[in-house]
Chain A
């Protein structure tokens, strides 16, 4: 049996990582993510697991890439400014095809921005922050309980597809304490990376016969020792560099295909009151909870509105959004940024129905009332849901 706890989403992510089999953590503290390493720094040493407080963000993710390459499950955690610093190594992890979980507790940006305030401004950075054609998986839970299950899922997807997975939460969710259930590992599906069934002599880390080639642990449980090369340069099956155009194209296409061929397994989404909906709110993370309240309120008045909530933001659920666009009269994308996922939804909807945005990058949660107003009047701008009196408490601006 698992246990009930009263935790914020950061602590929940830490607990869930341990359930998923976390074997190595390296990080550098940054608000509003620091409760993740804080909790792990207490628990991991007690379990004999390495927890490393690194000298900076870049070293943290590089240590994690090294650790996961050797065969353990690794995670690092950060917020916007640190996520920027980690991009180079995140690209390396994509290229090496190593499992890795990177948690980004989104705070207001750009730059150091709003350290203690929530945002959803790193959605596009999660997709395209590191250079070059690369696949990515990004997940976005909406509450602490879901953060537990999505963290476990992040590890599972990372292991299964030899793929870095970004878990996006935000500065509000991360500090919201709620009652959660932490499952035992036996109660949930835990995926470990596939191990090769061939001899070390015939093993290739990028074997052409697989969509996801097995990544051998450096030590083998049965005494066999696999020694191989991983390179961040374009490589052939041996892991050594090549400039051969055929293998270059093949490698990049395979890295994309291992994601696009397995969307059934990777995509996760929720339809909320969508059966007869004429307006569809697309929202994710904390904002989805505000949308839910707004939808309930509008429904009481007979307005046919529902929500499509992607838990997997990247790859985006294209087919599902296309299908919605063929059934509703308009789509409203609500997010704590100036319109990032809106671009993706617009691209997929392709002009079939109008797409509107509730876009707020003010460092405060989008309130249910703002989404409710937008449902009533989609073409009107959704203003910050705060009175002059309420705004005074923040100070400044005079």
Chain B
């Protein structure tokens, strides 16, 4: 019996060569993907999405033996994402795999018409990472992938991810990736956001945050509004913030923020308490400043900024801060429908309390 088993085992193992080998250097690994509408449809944003064609661009790194890398891109048009991805292989001399994707860029028009379907397709593929970064760009997304960046010997896809990740890390931004998108899109009382990437001076930059309602684009928050948005959404560490005083500007460093929410259903009021602790940047000028002056300036300036952001969000009727979710976790028998009706008229109050050290 024993030799029989060994023979049988070897036979099955040999036949199982059918499991498709994907040797690392014999495939193309797309690191970034751009989704645009076909140029002819680009201006007709209201057109029925299902009849619109999409242009798909994949950025693939080509490594050479002398440890250099260049990026090439593959382009294909189609109707659905899945179909386009599989037909892009017609143009490729090696198997083109998308399971290492790090970033997907959508043009503003695509985002405006809703990306739920694309996100669902990407999320349903277990071989695609959930940390995939979804981002928006105002022009055509493919231009970013074809951009000529002075990267540090990095493929474009990786470079774009690094730009976003560096911003996340430095400013302690809320996470924005595929999982988080699905989480906030499907979750009740929340709406997703995503970073906006633009090219400026041969560099990719974070140009703001796109605010979505369900899965479609409503409007953007500018770079200046990112910090207030973040501080209202989550606790942060190691941030920095510019304070405008009457005579000069100064910066708060190593700031730690805490955010607390309080919902007062009887007054239809929602209080957001933000506590800021930070250190004044050392400079000759800052020595003369009174700390209490800075504190008051911060409180006022920050409250104003937050209120601007909140006003925008309420106007668009989206809830990327997840205030609805906060209420859901505190109130029994919470109804999302009623909340959505109330939200635009909700009285949201920002209370900032700052402690500044030298």
Chains A and B form a bound pair: no
Partner-B contacts on A (CB < 8 A) = none
Partner-A contacts on B (CB < 8 A) = none
